[in-house]
Structure 1
Amino acid sequence: MPSKPEDKAMHQLQSQQSELLDKIDELRGIGVGGLVELPQLIVCGSQSSGKSSVLEAISRVRFPTKSTLCTRFATEVILRRKPQTRVKVSIEPGDSRTNEQERQRLRDFTSEAFSSDNNLQDLIDQARACMGISDNVAQDAGFCDDVLKIEISGPDKPELTLVDLPGLYNTPSEEQSIEGIQIVRQLTERYMAKDRSIILAVISAKVDYHIQEVLNIAKGYDPEYERVLAIVTQTDKLDEGSDEEERWLHYIRNEGIKLKLGWHALRNRSHKTRNVSDAERDEEERNHFAKGRWASLPRAHVGIDRLRHRLSTILLKHVAGSLPTLIKDIEQKINDRKQSLDKLGTARPTTRDQRGFLLNISSKFQRITAEALNGIGSKDFFGGLSDETPESGDPRRLRAVIRELNEYFADAMSTRGFRRDLAQNVSEPLSDSTNPKFQSYLSQWVPEKVTADDLMKHLMRQAANNRGIEFPGNPNQLLVGELFRDQVVPWKHIAQHHLNQAWQSVDDFVQLAFGYLTDDSTKNALLVGIIHPELEKLRDSLNKKLDELLSYTTTGHPLPVGRAFLERVQQRRAENQLENLQRNLVMENTIFENSSDWDQAKFTFQDLERAANQIQTSHGQFAVTDIVIQMQAYYEIAIVIFIDNVAILAIENCLLRPLEHIFSNQVINDMDDKEIEKLAGESQEVREERDRLSGELKKLEAGMRTLGTFALGRASVVGR
């Protein structure tokens, strides 16, 4: 008895093998295969590689062998072990068939069940005619994505479902067009590209391996050959003991081109033995592989009996292993369709229905916006905490984005918010200086580097040219204001960039919100008709607020209020006087190498008197040093106020707080019927999209019900 949980699950699935494969076929039949990749075995190879003979040997049913472009479609061969022999042919319409009447006409082609395969050729010909495929190459330029289904049951049939693809070829003929070369290859590649396809690559031993491209094509979609089984046919055509025979044995032992599923060797019917019985065919095959070098191969890798068993095991394991991800994929598709249908809303033929539809969107938008501004978003729109966040921030989390931008703004103002770099305790930015968004703030202004001497000379000239009624030795207060206004020139550039960034973040959020809440057609109508005009009003309000905040700063005279300014001025004056005193107390033959030397130094009263006189002389009659001190003290207070005002009075009051009201219930109630219909009326495309999504949802839900028994069974077995 199996001991591991996965072994128990496999044992349970084996006991239900036929039912499990029937369920996968049922999924394909109800159209789930067009929405979700289904596990399958695909048979592909070059023309004349023996594909038909392989299918005949596996199914015990004689397939038509005519190799023309009439096989420009896939054939699904369903083999089931049943007490009675039956053969049935039907058509599953492809995705390219968009007309429902046409699709139903193809589905209606379902032959009666026959007790033998004598009529199989006629049935296939009738099905081809129903699909609109003839033997005339000129008439049939393209391939057909309809699937011909051949259901074969009998007591000797293995439990298998195979998808037989048209044979690859490289040379056109009267019956095979040059266009068909690419058509058949594209069809083969389309099936190989599906991750849940096991590739059965049929290769003829009588043709040089290097000119049979099926494995090379497979490698393009399965580089490690993890889902490829190579079936070598016509091995009896090799000369006994030849190098060519040994080369093929090397491949079949999986020693040359290594395949995870390995290789398998068969002996096909020849033209002379085409009418011998299946039992005779199998006996000849057993005799062939019991002789010569072929006897050295493992018996599990030769002969049709072992291939049937091998394919059944491969398919069973493949289907069983695919069930968890298949169920997960179907669940995801169901959720996607439900969300899309929720965006479209129910049918809304009347104005009342349309108004209700908009009111529902409005309520949800206000809720999402409030959550975004409070930083407490629900998972449906905002995603979970474990979601990966892009480097530029998640635009859905609006509060986090705005806070980050405010930090960039504050950092940029602290490090680049002055016209002249006076090198007076300029702080380093707290933000990541390599961040592209922060770099965009820093690029708005580059301060001008000036030395203290250059600044003093400039101010001396300014003071001399702008003397007022102040007493000699006192600063001209008008110069303080002029220097301050010159120093804050970058504020507008940096703040304008910040407001633009904040507004763009809001615009990004709004677009995502409406993309989540409704379909593209309604979203675009709302954005163009209501939302964008309202956002432009908010942008104008932001810009006006910035002009207001800068108005007095750029035109008025500094009017400091409170003790903070006076304390800063006094502190700066004291620091400046101490610095000048130290500079002028350099006694002859005395060198102060570090600050500790000052603690041990002794000075006379004459030294202090001389140093004080030098300080007064250096200040000059215009007191330009005090002008700089007062300007810098006022700048340090004003910049903090400005940063706060931009963040609160501009962004919060003029952009964020009005945001949830740009599409409120009141806005909708104030609309007339024509406006409502223009915004929420349904186009033909929307109605068709709802029908399509509803149809797909029904298929997927039916598929989930089909797999429900196995999903629950597997969960209960593995959970033990």
Structure 2
Amino acid sequence: MAEQHVNGTDLNRSANFPSLEGLRSAKSTHRLDQIARVRAKGVGDHISLPQLVVCGGQSAGKSSVLEGITGIPFPRQDGVCTKFATEIILHHHEEETRIKATVIPHASCNKSQRERFPAYYRVLSDFSELPGVITEVGALMRLRGSGMDDGLTFGEDVLRIEVIGKTGLYLTVVDLPGLISVASEEQTEEDVQLIGRLVDTYLESSRTIILAVVQANNDIANQGIIQRARKFDRGGLRTRQELDFFSSPAWKEHRLDLTRLGVTALREYLQELLDGYIEKELAKVRGEIKSLLASNESQLATLGEERPSSLYMRMFLTRRSMEFHGLVQSALDGNYYERNAEFFRVRHTARLRAEVHRLNGSFAAEMRENGLLGSRVRINAEDGPLLVTQHELHEWVKENYLRTRGRELPGNYNHVLLAELYHEQSSRWASIAENHVAKLFDITTDFVSAAMDHVVREENMRREIILLANNRLEEAKISANGELQKLLADERRQPITYNHYYTDNIRNARESSMKDAMQKAMRAAVEKDWNGKFHVSNTPLELEKVLASLQKGVIVNMDDQACAEAMGGLQAYYKANLIRCREYIHKLTDLKVALKTFVDNVCRQVIERHILSTLPNIFAPTTVMELSEEDLVRIASEPEKQRERRVALLTLAEELKESLLDLRT
């Protein structure tokens, strides 16, 4: 809309302002000017500012009262109603003369409306152009009856008319559409609800001075606007002086108080009321602006840094990756108190090294308790250890001995036998180890998600980075499982060890076996040949008799001899001791050479090497530098809504700061 300038127009005359010399006060001039500047910045959309609201039912005479207060001739033809809120700001100025019309979009407006409304700016030469402005604004709001056949009947946007000149007043007055009592064909129930919401929006503010206009020929108890005013001003604080006025003796005696009649008296009364009210509320307004500014800055902080170009995007991601790297390194080192202490304090599962130790300990314990015997044993349902009787153990070894016989001489066993026994007893290692690696990978994945939540605040970006990190984690998982399969494949080969414990245990087992055999033969000889009382003289004949008796207890079954040797070799390989407990051979108790080595290899070579050591690099500065331009924009660019939110917050922050400067004195 082309801007129109005032060319020497006498605003006081063309606007038909009455002369109000002496009414103006320095206090109201200063305060109302401050409020007008703050409202012009749009802060009134976020913080309630002192204002006078003219409201009532349709055809109640609001426009007539409004003209009497402001001197502005609003259209009052039959059938014409106010279709949107009109905010009139009156500034007294001895020299400058200007009438300006603008449109303030409602908070619910979409992007196109927000761009269209601020573009409307018109300077009027006099108030005779006001009807045309109202028609233009109605068309701008797409309202029915303003050059349009369809659309809404009423709008929630605001027409602002700023009048500067010899007005004699410093007031901000809001004219609202009249309340509709009953819906009709032209004014629907939706229109009734919209106007009700619009009026309530203004009246609910404690800083609104309600000027309720009612028809004198209707019972005041039936006036909807009076009911609304009482709803939002239950204590009557905003109408106390009016109540005092109507309860005065003059009214009780049915005599009129001439000082309270007419537009001039109303304007003087409103000016005095507004002076005191604004002074009281202005301090609260300053506090609310400061509070809103702090909240605004906090919301800006949650949006993170602005990223207008790929350079800023890469720098932003690099900083996030460095923060993630430090967090992961602290978790792996078990350093939970120096850096990122709050993260580790709130999330106990984030203490990754502690969780790894716990799971590794459980893995080692399960291997010791449940990992040594294969399918030829029973499982105790109560406590889980694998139990086998002495006879069952002997039969199991003998069965495998007979299946693996080769060219060896009687009394010896094929070297394959030890491998067969070892492989069958260690057959559960694979499932136990695979289950352990899966558990540890799960807690690692959970940790990465928690760390990303802590480092990256933006949901879209966090989701993209987690996808990127999960790809690296999946590679680590595949690599770890591959390493585990190599370890298991090694365990399926012929057993090899250079551990001196093996030869020591072989010797100990043989000595123990010989000792047991000698003791058994001796007891049998004493019982049979000496009637339980063993006493011999040191003569060759007696010694020969002892040797002959002992020979009867020597094992002559070469298969049994070979099986005994094999059992000793197997037990030596595991560094195991069998302890008798009633009818069972109890669980193997010592830390076995092969089992211990396997457990350590899983923890070091699979978990540490392929899973944990890769964590700091799944989202590192080098990862960011390797991102293509396309991937960088997809991951780090700000969503459209976030950019709009940032612009809105920055604009509001600037308006709030300027408003604080306007209200500082």
Measured after TM superposition, the shift of residue 263 of structure 1 is: 3.9
Q: State the match for 1:135 in structure 2.
A: 145
Q: State the match for 1:464 in structure 2.
A: 395
Pair 1:387–1:679, CA change in 2 (3 A): closer
- 1:142, 1:183 within 8 Å by CA — same for their partners in 2? no
Question: Residues of 2 paired with 1:393 and 1:551: CA distance?
Answer: 37
Measured after TM superposition, the shift of residue 90 of structure 1 is: 0.8
Q: State the match for 1:25 in structure 2.
A: 39
Measured after TM superposition, the shift of residue 24 of structure 1 is: 0.8
Measured after TM superposition, the shift of residue 705 of structure 1 is: 5.1
Aligned residues: 526
Q: What is the correspondence of 1:497-646 to structure 2 with a 5 Å cutoff?
A: 497-507=439-449, 509-510=451-452, 533-545=471-483, 547=485, 619=580, 624-625=585-586, 627-630=587-590
The alignment partner of 2:620 has SS state of helix
- 2:93, 2:164 within 8 Å by CA — same for their partners in 1? yes
Q: State the match for 1:277 in structure 2.
A: none
Q: State the match for 1:323 in structure 2.
A: 286
Q: Which of 45, 64, 74 in structure 1 is aligned with 2:85?
A: 74
Q: State the match for 1:492 in structure 2.
A: 434
Q: What is the correspondence of 1:111-122 to structure 2 with a 5 Å cutoff?
A: 111-112=124-125, 114=126
Task: Confirm whether residue 169 of structure 1 aligns to residue 180 of structure 2.
Answer: yes
Q: What is the correspondence of 1:222-621 to structure 2 with a 5 Å cutoff?
A: 228=232, 230=233, 257-258=234-235, 261=237, 263-264=239-240, 266=242, 290-292=250-252, 308-330=271-293, 333=296, 342-346=305-309, 354=310, 356=311, 359-361=314-316, 363-375=318-330, 400=350, 402-403=352-353, 405-406=355-356, 409=359, 450-451=381-382, 456=387, 461=392, 463-467=394-398, 486=428, 489-507=431-449, 509-510=451-452, 533-545=471-483, 547=485, 619=580
Pair 1:63–1:15, CA change in 2 (3 A): closer
The alignment partner of 1:91 has SS state of strand
Q: How far does the alpha carbon of each residue in 1:231-259 deviate from its partner, in whole angstroms, 9 at most, with x for none?
A: xxxxxxxxxxxxxxxxxxxxxxxxxx446
Q: Which of 692, 706, 709 in structure 1 is aligned with 2:658?
A: 706
Amino acid at match of 1:75: T
Question: Residues of 1 paired with 2:290 and 2:269: CA distance?
Answer: 31
Q: Which of 33, 54, 57 in structure 2 is aligned with 1:47?
A: 57
Question: Residues of 1 paired with 2:359 and 2:439: CA distance?
Answer: 9
- 1:531, 1:662 within 8 Å by CA — same for their partners in 2? no
Measured after TM superposition, the shift of residue 181 of structure 1 is: 1.8
For structure 1, the residue ranges without an aligned partner over 5 or more in a row are: 1-11, 220-227, 231-256, 268-283, 347-353, 377-383, 395-399, 423-447, 571-615, 669-674, 715-720
Pair 1:290–1:326, CA change in 2 (3 A): same
Pair 1:97–1:548, CA change in 2 (3 A): same
- 1:334, 1:701 within 8 Å by CA — same for their partners in 2? yes
Amino acid at match of 2:629: I
Measured after TM superposition, the shift of residue 111 of structure 1 is: 1.8
- 1:70, 1:135 within 8 Å by CA — same for their partners in 2? no
Measured after TM superposition, the shift of residue 123 of structure 1 is: 5.0
Amino acid at match of 1:135: G
Measured after TM superposition, the shift of residue 183 of structure 1 is: 2.9
Question: Residues of 2 paired with 1:642 and 1:218: CA distance?
Answer: 77
Measured after TM superposition, the shift of residue 21 of structure 1 is: 0.8
Question: Residues of 2 paired with 1:703 and 1:453: CA distance?
Answer: 72
Measured after TM superposition, the shift of residue 417 of structure 1 is: 8.1
The alignment partner of 1:321 has SS state of helix
Question: Residues of 1 paired with 2:62 and 2:365: CA distance?
Answer: 75
Q: State the match for 1:444 in structure 2.
A: none
- 2:371, 2:426 within 8 Å by CA — same for their partners in 1? no
- 2:210, 2:238 within 8 Å by CA — same for their partners in 1? no
Question: Residues of 2 paired with 1:704 and 1:68: CA distance?
Answer: 41
The alignment partner of 1:71 has SS state of coil
Pair 1:363–1:37, CA change in 2 (3 A): same
The alignment partner of 1:450 has SS state of coil
The alignment partner of 2:112 has SS state of coil
Measured after TM superposition, the shift of residue 149 of structure 1 is: 1.0
Q: State the match for 1:676 in structure 2.
A: 629
Q: State the match for 1:428 in structure 2.
A: none
Amino acid at match of 1:624: I
Measured after TM superposition, the shift of residue 76 of structure 1 is: 1.7
Question: Residues of 1 paired with 2:273 and 2:299: CA distance?
Answer: 38
The alignment partner of 2:124 has SS state of coil
Measured after TM superposition, the shift of residue 156 of structure 1 is: 7.9
Question: Residues of 1 paired with 2:166 and 2:483: CA distance?
Answer: 86
- 2:144, 2:150 within 8 Å by CA — same for their partners in 1? yes
- 2:178, 2:195 within 8 Å by CA — same for their partners in 1? yes
Amino acid at match of 1:110: V
Question: Residues of 1 paired with 2:288 and 2:33: CA distance?
Answer: 19
Question: Residues of 2 paired with 1:196 and 1:386: CA distance?
Answer: 45
Pair 1:202–1:661, CA change in 2 (3 A): same
- What is the TM-score normalised by the length of structure 2? 0.58
Pair 1:678–1:317, CA change in 2 (3 A): same
Q: How far does the alpha carbon of each residue in 1:122-152 deviate from its partner, in whole angstroms, 9 at most, with x for none?
A: 6544543555545379523264343211334
Q: State the match for 1:606 in structure 2.
A: none
Measured after TM superposition, the shift of residue 287 of structure 1 is: 9.1
- 2:143, 2:152 within 8 Å by CA — same for their partners in 1? no
Seq. identity, %: 15
The alignment partner of 1:140 has SS state of coil
Task: Give the alignment's Cα RMSD to 1 decimal.
Answer: 6.1
- What is the TM-score normalised by the length of structure 1? 0.54
Question: Residues of 2 paired with 1:289 and 1:366: CA distance?
Answer: 79
Question: Residues of 2 paired with 1:695 and 1:104: CA distance?
Answer: 16
Deviates more, 1:649-658 or 1:52-61: 52-61
Pair 1:555–1:531, CA change in 2 (3 A): same
The alignment partner of 2:161 has SS state of strand
Q: How far does the alpha carbon of each residue in 1:7-26 deviate from its partner, in whole angstroms, 9 at most, with x for none?
A: xxxxx998941342133123
The alignment partner of 2:184 has SS state of coil
- 2:104, 2:157 within 8 Å by CA — same for their partners in 1? yes
Question: Residues of 2 paired with 1:21 and 1:329: CA distance?
Answer: 17
- 1:82, 1:153 within 8 Å by CA — same for their partners in 2? yes
The alignment partner of 2:123 has SS state of coil
Deviates more, 1:180-189 or 1:41-50: 41-50
Q: Which of 150, 161, 165 in structure 2 is aligned with 1:150?
A: 161
Amino acid at match of 1:179: E
Question: Residues of 2 paired with 1:454 and 1:512: CA distance?
Answer: 43
Pair 1:335–1:618, CA change in 2 (3 A): closer
Measured after TM superposition, the shift of residue 702 of structure 1 is: 4.3
Amino acid at match of 2:85: A
- 1:89, 1:123 within 8 Å by CA — same for their partners in 2? no
Question: Residues of 1 paired with 2:82 and 2:325: CA distance?
Answer: 60
Q: What is the correspondence of 1:191-230 to structure 2 with a 5 Å cutoff?
A: 198=208, 200=210, 202=212, 212=224, 228=232, 230=233
